[in-house]
Amino acid sequence: MADPNTTTAASGNGHALLDRDLSILAFNERVLDWAHRPEVPVLERLRYLCIVSSNLDEFFEVRAEPHVMGSLQGVSNGPFTAQSLAAVAEKANAMVTRQYALYNDVLLPTLQREGYRILSHGERNAEQRRWVRSYFQREVQPLLVPVGLDPAHPFPQVANKSLNFIVQLSGKDAFGRSNEIAILKVPRVLQRLIPLPARICDGAAAFVLLSSVIRAHLSELFPGREVGQFSQFRLTRHSDLAVDEDDIANLRTALRQGLQHRHYGQAVRLEVSANCAPKLSEFLRKEFQLPESTVYRVNGPVNLVRLMQLIDLVNAPRLLFPPYEASFPAQVPQNGSIFARLKTGDVVIHQPFESFDGVLAFLREAVTDPHVLAIKQTIYRTGSDPALMGLLREAVRQGKEVTAVVELKARFDEEANINWAEQLEAIGVQVVYGIVGLKTHAKMLLITRREGRVLRRYGHLSTGNYNRRTAALYTDISYLTADPATTLDMDHLFGHLASQSRLPKMKRLLVAPFQLHSEMLSRISAVGQAAAKGEFARIVVKTNALTDLPLIDALLAAGQKGAQIDLIVRGACALPAGVAGLSENIRVRSVIGRFLEHSRVFYFCADQDESLYLSSADWMSRNMMRRIEVAWPVRDPVLRQRIVEECLIAYLKDGRDAWDLAPDGQYHRVGITMPGPGAQNALMQRYSASPNKE
């Protein structure tokens, strides 16, 4: 039997690569490991459990549809077949089983010992049952409309990831008919986790799940009928929104219309209760036209993501990580002018160890400075934080020319970004949507300021988004510069995005889909050539994913010539590491910590030629060929060494949160056999503004 971690896809040199989808699932197994660690506070363990469930939802929404369709259509060759679906299902099912075992056998008992309980119907006392029944009749039942199936009442449309029940009934309906199957759709507006009053819990904290409340009172929804077998169920649908940009007049309008249909795409996964009668699960499977391997039986609530609410409802800081207070960036003046500071050299902000407030301070100074004439910014994922919107509104009010390049097609943020675009236009911002067919994933902020008789530019480039919430949760590098060549390149790129004019030759920036890919291939090749000559040859790449075949081929070729290569890849990695005769000089490591690794750093050294790039791009074909991305060199030797030490060396030395990829395609956590300090912990210690450091 073939190695389940490899795929029939191969590099240009014919080498079997690791399967991308299985690699994504393996990443989630590494995240799930945090939920299993007893030293992690219990509410944080629950958070990791919920994160994995959310990640799996997105995996099925985006990646599963080709496998499901290949299986349904009987495709026997290619990447998407019944066999590929079976491999995905086997790995995903095993992970889901681990999740629910951990939830039921470890996390719930641990929470109970801490004084917090989620009570099932059987665990509720008489007074609690009376309160729950009253709550059901008052808050829940008025919103429920069960549908008994018959020719006049076909199977109702079931929305993506919604909670539903299937119920088998006996007896006759009001018209003497024996329609035995009913479907109950549960509205999303209903609270999924309900606190019980302390007065009926002896002062303790207790909660009930909405699914448990409905389950206990199903018979009240079917008067005159007897409720037999039943099960909650949840359907996942393909939700990767796509529009034909060559055949639309207005992208924003087309996307808003497409959002209305997202919840009803191709079915790809069916979750039912573990004790769901085979007759009912089979009925649902056939109704949704799904292969058998897409049915997941779960021992608990069908949507663990909703348990994230418990973390806020409990309000128990002792059951969470100690709060981390990031320091204000040391290189950013808190009183003087940031513009004046940038005239002396570039500035690096290492988020979240240093605060995103440094970036907001840069924009705030631009907004309030009367000499600033124009502000240009890309917007990919901003979240709902009003701080950025408020600053841009104030900039317009003060008469500055503000341009925003809003990426409407940021996956699962389309609606938020459409709303952002409309709000920005309403306050007078010039809004553009980039280039048809290409997502604008570059993160740039450009300030134009009059200084005497000249206009001077100041820029911010980042590996992450302009989102204050995620800036506290993701590791990223913000880069502030007044370098004339870099900021001129940024200005040219903004002009290209707005006018679609030809992009002039760049002096500093590498821009995808133009020269970024070819320059990365050239850098790798140069290192390989140095290795072949016996010269020092080194590559260290930190990225979130590595799946681009030409880049993989180039890395394999350089490694075979003797180059020493370390790849710090958080998620999907298709390159097999440490394989004799193929990649014995290549090591792949994944680091999963308290914060989500998100920074992209590319280091190359060929003899005396040393270069370091920061980038918005992962090493995936979509980033290199179907997105507007940027990479920029760090030319200051002091800043370059700082980034090497903090983003590369620290992670290569991580002895706590790192996982190494073995030749068999499996990841092994290094902290189990040789425990040592974690890179993120060390950086938190270095930068924490709190006197009580972890």
Going through 50-179 in order, the beta strands assigned E by DSSP cover: 116-118, 147-148, 163-170
pTM for the model: 0.92
Average pLDDT over residues 596-625: 97
From CA 647, how far away is CA 330, in angstroms rounded?
A: 17
Which of 392, 386, 416, 413 lies closest to 404, judged by CA? 392
As beta bridge partners, residue 272 has: 233, 297
Going through 155-312 in order, the beta strands assigned E by DSSP cover: 163-170, 181-185, 193-195, 205-209, 226-237, 267-273, 295-298
Higher local confidence (pLDDT), 315 or 44: 44
From CA 213, how far away is CA 192, in angstroms rounded?
A: 10
- Whether 566 and 654 have beta carbons less than 8 Å apart is answered as no
Neighbour-count burial for 558-587, b at 16+ CB within 10 Å, e otherwise: bbbbbbbbbbbbbbbbbbbbbbeebbebbb
Q: What does the block give as tokens for 619?
A: 């090493």
φ, ψ of residue 480 to 5 degrees: the values are: -105, 135
**pLDDT value for 369:** 97
Going through 482-563 in order, the beta strands assigned E by DSSP cover: 510-512, 537-543
Which of 15, 19, 25 lies closest to 7, judged by CA? 19
**pLDDT value for 556:** 98
From CA 616, how far away is CA 464, in angstroms rounded?
A: 7
Minimum mean pLDDT range among 3-17, 454-468, 576-590: 3-17
Going through 95-210 in order, the beta strands assigned E by DSSP cover: 116-118, 147-148, 163-170, 181-185, 193-195, 205-209
Please say if the pLDDT value at position 304 is more than 70: yes
Q: What does the block give as tokens for 87?
A: 């491999």
- Whether 184 and 165 have beta carbons less than 8 Å apart is answered as yes
- How does DSSP assign 35-55, residue by residue? HH-TTS-HHHHHHHHHHHHHH
As beta bridge partners, residue 230 has: 167
Residues 217, 238, 441, 517: which is the catalytic one? 441
Region of 257 please: left (phi>0), alpha (psi -120 to 50) or beta: alpha
Average pLDDT over residues 548-558: 98
Region of 95 please: left (phi>0), alpha (psi -120 to 50) or beta: alpha
Please say if the pLDDT value at position 244 is more than 50: no
- Cα 675 vs. chain centroid, distance in angstroms? 28
Residue 379's pLDDT band, with cuts at 50, 70 and 90, is confident
Residue 633, burial from CB neighbour count under 10 angstroms (0-12, 13-18, 19+): middle
Residue 433's pLDDT band, with cuts at 50, 70 and 90, is confident
Please say if the pLDDT value at position 151 is more than 70: no
Which of 639, 660, 315, 254 lies closest to 477, judged by CA? 639
Domains in the chain, CATH or no CATH each: 1-114 (1.20.58.310), 126-246+265-313 (3.30.1840.10), 338-507 (3.30.870.10), 512-687 (3.30.870.10)
Catalytic, 441? Answer yes
- Amino acid (1-letter code) at residue 107: L
How does pLDDT run across 219-234, given as a tens digit for each residue?
999 998 889 999 999 9
